[in-house]
A and B are shown apart, each in its own frame.
Chain A
């Protein structure tokens, strides 16, 4: 039961961190875009360019990073679950988690 509690706590915390981070970045990006350009950008930037643009506090960069981090949040939840399952020595759970992570990483690698 304690192992289950730990698994849920880790998954919950990771999901909240990912969700909170993406919402904050998205809101900041929307504010910067609306103040500087009067509108939201019409397309997202490639991930590498978005990170650099976000560091310059560019609205489109922040929005792209915010959207991408929202999309990556489920993967963060899975990774946190894998760690908790590994601590609980649940080999099948770890394997399933790694399978899901593999598919999500593949989608990133094959995205173009």
Chain B
């Protein structure tokens, strides 16, 4: 029966997280710790397995369509995996209350980051010459060509993304996508596709450390990852139909409650 509950948690987390573009890990860790009383480190490790499963499954789709910029993913991957390695090694050593506290801060950041705002004036790096790539955009009905700007800024920023992702068992998309689209000038669709591939690199680097410390519990990790993968697939088909504003507002309220609960646990 508990296995069904874990699958349901994975489904809800994968569905909601993917619908609002943050990935399932954001809800898996609070779900496991707050609803099921799973220790923080175990929840983070099991969530990381779900992040890798989602990334691998999603990458098969995005690599086929060519929307991923593999060269950019590898370039940023060097620093994001460095951050993830450090995060993984730190996570197995520190007091879990630090993770609760950091999660509360990140949840508050998400509440802020998902605030509705008008379209940004940042244009894709059409004229940039670094790591040039192109993909076919079905919405536009034509290929989109772009290059990457300010790569050194991206390299430094993604260390932080990898580190936070590994410490908290979440995908790095919430940091990587804004960096790629706003600073590096990558079109948003390519940024999302590239981020999904990068989540696998980050997640795997940290999850291998967790595997070595015997923190991955198959009875938790397998049903949650399976549920999250299915939920994310369903969400990817509904993303155009769902009412984004209502979803985002509900998600923000939910994340605020999670931040409060996680914050309380720091002092418990």
Residues of A within 8 A of B (CB): 4, 7-8, 11-12, 15-16, 18-19, 26, 30, 39-44, 47, 60, 63-64, 67-68, 70-75, 77-78, 81, 85, 90, 92-93, 96-97, 99-100, 103-104, 106-108, 110-112
Q: Which of B56-94 contact A (CB under 8 A)?
A: 56-57, 59-60, 63-64, 66, 68, 70-71, 74-75, 77-78, 81-82, 84-85, 88-89
A104: B residues at CB distance < 8 A: 81, 201, 204-205, 208
Q: How far is the CB of A23 from chain B (nearest CB, A)?
A: 9
B222: A residues at CB distance < 8 A: 26, 30, 40, 63, 67
Q: Beyond the given A11-B63, A103-B85, A110-B89, please list 14 additional residue pairs across the A-B interface where CB-CB is below 8 A.
A: A15-B59, A19-B56, A43-B216, A44-B214, A64-B218, A74-B55, A74-B200, A81-B74, A96-B75, A99-B78, A100-B78, A108-B212, A110-B85, A111-B209
A8: B residues at CB distance < 8 A: 63-64, 66, 68, 70
B250 within 8 A of A: no
Contact present for A12 and B64 (CB under 8 Å): yes
A70: B residues at CB distance < 8 A: 49, 52-53, 56
Chain B residue nearest in CB terms to A103:
B81
Contact present for B213 and A112 (CB under 8 Å): yes
8 closest A-B pairs by CB: A111-B212, A103-B81, A99-B78, A74-B200, A96-B74, A100-B77, A12-B63, A74-B204
Residues of B within 8 A of A (CB): 3, 49, 52-53, 55-57, 59-60, 63-64, 66, 68, 70-71, 74-75, 77-78, 81-82, 84-85, 88-89, 133, 197, 200-201, 203-209, 211-214, 216-219, 221-222
A81: B residues at CB distance < 8 A: 70, 74
B206: A residues at CB distance < 8 A: 107
Chain B residue nearest in CB terms to A81:
B70
Compute how far the CA of A70 lies from the CA of B48 in the bound complex, rounded to whole angstroms: 11
Contact present for B218 and A44 (CB under 8 Å): yes
User: Which of A40, A43, A77, A99 makes the CB contact (< 8 A) with B200?
Assistant: A77
Compute how far the CA of A93 lies from the CA of B82 in the bound complex, rounded to whole angstroms: 17
Compute how far the CA of A20 lies from the CA of B204 in the bound complex, rounded to whole angstroms: 17
Contact present for A107 and B205 (CB under 8 Å): yes
Chain B residue nearest in CB terms to A11:
B63
User: Which of B53, B60, B74, B219 makes the CB contact (< 8 A) with A41?
Assistant: B219
Chain B residue nearest in CB terms to A100:
B77
A93: B residues at CB distance < 8 A: 71, 74
Q: How far is the CB of A108 from chain B (nearest CB, A)?
A: 5
Compute how far the CA of A85 lies from the CA of B72 in the bound complex, rounded to whole angstroms: 13
Contact present for A103 and B78 (CB under 8 Å): yes
Interface centre among B216, B217, B218, B219 (most CB of A within 10 A): B218
Contact present for A41 and B218 (CB under 8 Å): yes
Known: A43-B214, A104-B81. A96 touches B71 (CB 8 A): yes
Contact present for B74 and A42 (CB under 8 Å): no
